[in-house]
Amino acid sequence: MTKGDDAVMRRRNKAKIKKLNNKNTSSNVSARVAAVIAAKKRRKSGKRRQCQGMCFSLPTLDDPFNDRYDKRETETKATKKRNSLQLDKNKNAFVKGKSAVSKKETKRDNNEKPGHLEQTKEKAINLKNSQDKSLLFIDGVEKRTGNVERAEVHLNGKSCANGHHGQACEKLDCPSKFLILCLNAIENAMRHDGVEQDNPLFVNSWGIEFWKCYSSAKDILETSGSSSTIVQIAWIVATAADSIARKEKEGFSFTGPFLLFLVSSQEKAAKVRSVCKPLKAFGIHTVSLHPGAAIDHQINGLRSCEPEFLVSTPERLLKLVSLKAIDVSGVSLLVVDGLDSLSKGDTLSSIRQSISGKPHTVVFNDCLTYTSVPAVQYLLLGSINRLSLNQSVASQSACIIQSVNVCASDEEKILKGIQVLDHAYGDHFHSEPLKVLYVVGKDSKFENLVSTLKCKGYSISTGSNCIVSHIKNSVEADGRKRPAVSMIDKDHISTAELEEYEVVIVPDFIISMKNYVEILTSMARHTVSGILHSFFTKDDAAHAGQMIEILEQCGQVVPDALRDLCHTSPMLE
């Protein structure tokens, strides 16, 4: 007795179900992802499930009865395979998994007819040729960067793997093509949201200066006196995305967030998140953490994804770190946006201790007073780059302490100046000595200062023209070195290079206030530990009023003795 058709179909279905179950058990993806992939394959091949109420393929004028359907499906599968292999060789986007360009080409190839196979191959070859040279326009100047894939990473003339902890320390002539692509994507999204910019993002002067500072592998102190803007956020996240792409090309992987962007409020977190959102097309995922959302919801979200960028308020981040919902120990780039509000309490120090190594740090110092100096000194260790397009005295002299002393006599001024020198020597017992500069004049007081320094054990070598004199390092019996001290005449301040000096001493206030401001805005450019000492007597009472104005403008402490000296100035006249 022969079996019926329904029995044959049941047997076949049973075999198919068993085969599918075996595939699902050996697959590395979840059932939900496997279902999405299967639906996508059916949609692109023209097949539909019977429950969807559609035929397997639509008839065409050339084939009204679908006689050639099986043959066309076979050719399409072969075409997809050849095209995917060709596009895998020609990837040009430095993102995880498939590149954005490859995704576009693959989608277009799947929708093309088999007769267009030759045109598709020509497009893939043209795409490869177009990657050989990237054309950029920076400040209206045309520059060719060469093949982006062949860009080398150097630090001090040597190829390197890490600059700071896991950060990219590339030194290139101009921004890469991928960085410009990220900026263009952000700009297009901003334009779609109705935010118009006067100039393209990639020619922004602040952004170009930031990229130069970032490429030098030094920490950055932004001293404009405000928190970050949309343009500044765009350059920071685009540069971070470019660093991720370069490190992944070198074979490095990141187990946690690459960028940690600390903000003060939920509104600022949403603003930063909106700027980062267009980078999702390049494989960069951003997660925003703030008190406005339930913590359980945020914990579940962090378990389901591994973000490259993390935008958070300090309090919520510390809470999630304590619950072990997020690991920030491998952060390579730390951005502190708004130091005035974030430095309250011990939140910043706790977050910094949670990060191992030395991340590349960018600080937006919106508080230019002396109260922000300890927090900046805690975050920025070693040599830094200052970044600001604000030319005000307060901005250019940020994190430089101005110490004004009122003395009774000239001898007291010399002695206090030497005490400052000895204090600089004592504070750096185990580290490199500070670079100290004396500003002197050509008079008898200069000779008194030199003789007093000799009595204190400093060996002095004076230049023939007395313009610049160097006080040689004196080695003590226990092997300690005194700080290297230089002397400069007051008439040569405008031509001197003061950026390397961390301590400047004006033992006799014989300079004008213009020279004082020039010293203040030119010294200690690569450190946050600069100190400018000046000494007043009754003879200098005429400068007391202008000095008080500068101190108040820069948010410095005004000594009571200086105010008293200012009040006695009219009486002396």
* pLDDT for res 113: 43
What is the rounded distance in angstroms from the CA atom of residue 431 to the CA atom of residue 440? 28
Q: What is the mean pLDDT of residues 361-390?
A: 88
Is it the case that residue 429 has pLDDT exceeding 70?
no
Coil, helix or strand for 136? strand
The DSSP H or E segment spanning 232 is helix 230-249
What is the rounded distance in angstroms from the CA atom of residue 3 to the CA atom of residue 12? 13
Would you give the DSSP letter of residue 438? E
In b/e form, how buried is each residue of 45-56, taking b as 16+ CB within 10 angstroms? eeeeeeeeeeee
Of 132, 138, 125, 37, the C-alpha closest to 86 is 125
The DSSP line for 1-46 is -PPPHHHHHHHHHHHHHHHHHHHHHH-SS-HHHHHHHHHHHHHHHT
Q: What is the mean pLDDT of residues 426-451?
A: 69
Burial class (CB in 10 A: 0-12, 13-18, 19+), 546: middle
Residue 550 structure tokens? 């500068």
461 strand-pairing partners: 470
What is the rounded distance in angstroms from the CA atom of residue 109 to the CA atom of residue 103? 10
Would you give the DSSP letter of residue 114? G
The DSSP line for 540-562 is GGGGHHHHHHHHHHTT----HHH
Would you give the DSSP letter of residue 479? S
Coil, helix or strand for 492? helix
* pLDDT for res 432: 66
State the pLDDT confidence band at 262, using cuts at 50, 70 and 90.
Answer: very high
Is it the case that residue 75 has pLDDT exceeding 80?
no
* pLDDT for res 85: 47
Q: What is the mean pLDDT of residues 130-155?
A: 36
pLDDT tens, position by position, 288-343: 999 999 999 999 889 888 899 999 999 999 999 999 999 999 999 999 998 887 87
* pLDDT for res 57: 60
Of 96, 93, 95, the C-alpha closest to 105 is 93
What is the rounded distance in angstroms from the CA atom of residue 515 to the CA atom of residue 194? 47
State the pLDDT confidence band at 254, using cuts at 50, 70 and 90.
Answer: confident
What is the rounded distance in angstroms from the CA atom of residue 427 to the CA atom of residue 430? 9
Mean pLDDT value across the chain = 75
* pLDDT for res 253: 81
* pLDDT for res 130: 42
pLDDT tens, position by position, 155-184: 333 333 334 444 444 456 788 999 999 999
* pLDDT for res 240: 95
Residue 194 structure tokens? 């109705």
The DSSP line for 286-306 is EEEE-TTS-HHHHHHHHHH--
Is it the case that residue 379 has pLDDT exceeding 60?
yes
State the pLDDT confidence band at 440, using cuts at 50, 70 and 90.
Answer: confident
* pLDDT for res 317: 94
pTM > 0.85:
no
Q: What is the mean pLDDT of residues 459-485?
A: 49
Q: What is the mean pLDDT of residues 114-138?
A: 43
What is the rounded distance in angstroms from the CA atom of residue 170 to the CA atom of residue 154? 6
Q: Residue with structure tokens 């003395």? A: 407
Going by C-beta distance under 8 Å and a sequence separation of 6 or more, which residues neighbour residue 419?
none
Burial class (CB in 10 A: 0-12, 13-18, 19+), 34: middle
What is the rounded distance in angstroms from the CA atom of residue 425 to the CA atom of residue 562? 27
Going by C-beta distance under 8 Å and a sequence separation of 6 or more, which residues neighbour residue 61?
none
What is the rounded distance in angstroms from the CA atom of residue 322 to the CA atom of residue 325? 8
Most confident range, picked from 1-10, 176-185, 197-206: 176-185
Going by C-beta distance under 8 Å and a sequence separation of 6 or more, which residues neighbour residue 94?
178, 242, 244, 245, 246, 248, 249
pLDDT tens, position by position, 481-537: 555 577 888 788 877 788 888 889 887 776 788 889 999 999 999 999 899 999 988
Give percent of the chain above pLDDT 70.
Answer: 67
Q: What is the mean pLDDT of residues 75-97?
A: 47
Q: Is the CB of residue 232 less than 8 Å from the CB of residue 398?
A: no
285 strand-pairing partners: none
Q: What is the mean pLDDT of residues 262-273?
A: 93
* pLDDT for res 488: 83
- Choose between 356 and 126: higher pLDDT: 356
pLDDT tens, position by position, 328-374: 999 999 999 988 878 777 888 899 999 988 999 999 988 878 888 88
State the pLDDT confidence band at 205, using cuts at 50, 70 and 90.
Answer: very high
Is it the case that residue 54 has pLDDT exceeding 70?
no
Q: Is the CB of residue 195 less than 8 Å from the CB of residue 234?
A: no
